[in-house]
Amino acid sequence: MTAAAFPASFACQVRMNIRCKKEMSFYELTKIFKKQIPLEKTHFRYLYGFFEECYPSLIKKYMHEQGLTKDQIIYIYNLLPEQGEKAKFSEVIKNGQL
């Protein structure tokens, strides 16, 4: 399937790649959340971008398109080292927006 078939997933891909020279596809991102590929340090920058740049309603649409659960998203989020990018998404979780 093409990116056009997954509009929210593609939007998340664009937003998470804003600060990266090499792009990561939403397909690879989804595989990380589903634990189909191991989380590596090279993924951190993309994941920080995802959690900082994607607003909660967009993440919910992405989750629906890719068959992801809240637990899968939060599991990977909790594996990331604490940095400023995590603070904003921590508020989203705390406020029940996801």
Whether the Cβ atoms of residue 46 and residue 16 lie closer than 8 Å to each other: yes
Q: Residue 36 and residue 97: Cα distance in Å, rounded? A: 26
The arithmetic mean of pLDDT across residues 64-82, rounded, is: 95
Which pLDDT score is estimated for 1?
62
Which pLDDT score is estimated for 89?
80
Is the per-residue pLDDT at 46 higher than 90?
yes
Domain limits, the chain: 7-94
The arithmetic mean of pLDDT across residues 66-95, rounded, is: 87
Q: Burial code of 79-90, b = ≥16 C-beta within 10 A, e = fewer?
A: ebeeeebbeebe
Give the whole-number percent of the chain exceeding pLDDT 90.
74
